[in-house]
Amino acid sequence: MPGLRKVDRLKKLLLLLPCDEEMEKLLDTRSLAEEMDDPENWVFARSDPRLCGPDRSDYIADLVKETEAQAIIVGGPSDRTHGSVWRQEASFVGIPPDRVELVPLVQQCVYVTDEKDAARRRAKIMIESALARVDTGIDRAVERVKAMQAVLIIGGGVAGMQAAWDLADFGRQVYLVERTGELGGRAHQLSRTYPTQDCKPDGCCPQSCRDCQFTPRIDLVTSHPLIELLLESEVKSVKGGIGGYQIEVHSPDVSRLLEVGAIVVATGNVMFDAEEMGELSPWHPDV
């Protein structure tokens, strides 16, 4: 499992990407890099348009050679969207993946505030934390676990039914738990839907009629051999971990213990009271 390990202090290359226009306006990555640059403490900060261009790999290789960097911290995108890309870049210059940190400045600074001073303070704190994490050492070794093939889906609305059908069609055993006595969720309570608003006089219109929209979908779910439907049922407890969960499900007449490898939560939305916003209220004179 991932954990902490003590490592010697590393020479760190901090790359602040000037690729995002909104981030550049708010943070000014070049001046931020100048402020964060601290060679005496083995922090070498750079911000250059070449980090966003086709010659990025060569430029990074030159920087690593120049600074003798042993770790790379990238300020800009998130690890979730760009982590694999930057770890591959690092591998080209001999830096292992566990010595690469991504600081999501776009998501956690630009999207959070439009005040330059606040964004800059936030960015500096996030960067300093990433620099510290590299020196602390976080073992990101990949551990493979054997996962059970069955899947639990909580919620029998449109999303839950679609997920159940997709997984079952892929060959997975699916347990679909719905606390009410019917499938369809909130969408099934609608009398008509956009854009046509009504059924055709000579028959159902698939774009609008509730029965035409949901009945075939419900039939597909209830008739699929790999989907077990548990109506009027609720999940009471979840134990275990990734790849192997033990789920206690209570139904009207019996309680069951299910073993699954994954859980999909499709419990729907929360209804919004339009009266809270005057311009959307049905009693507003202009509505």
Residues of the chain with CATH 3.50.50.60: 151-265
Token code pair at residue 207: 């774009």
Identify which of 57, 52, 60, 82 has the alpha carbon closest to the alpha carbon of residue 14.
Answer: 60
Residue 136: pLDDT band (50, 70, 90) is: confident
Residue 214 in 3-state DSSP? helix
Please write the tens of the pLDDT for every residue from 238-264.
999 989 999 999 998 889 999 999 999
- Domain 12-136 fold is Rossmann fold (3.40.50)
CATH of 151-265, one of 3.40.1050.10, 1.25.40.10, 3.50.50.60, 3.40.47.10: 3.50.50.60
Tell me if the pTM is above 0.85. no
Residues paired with residue 100 on neighbouring β-strands, in sequence order: 72
pLDDT tens digits, 178-216? 999 888 887 766 666 555 555 544 555 544 555 566 677
Give the dihedral sign, CA 197/201/204/205: negative
pLDDT digits 0-9 by tens, 142-172: 677 889 999 999 999 889 999 999 999 999 9
| Residue whose entry in the numeric block shows the structure tokens 């980090």 | 51
CATH 3.40.50 location in the chain:
12-136
The span from the CA of 165 to the CA of 218, in Å, is: 10
Alpha-carbon gap, residue 166 to 170, rounded angstroms: 6
Bridge-based pairing state of the strands 262-265 and 151-154: parallel
Q: For strand 174-178 and strand 227-231, is the pairing parallel, antiparallel, or unpaired?
A: parallel
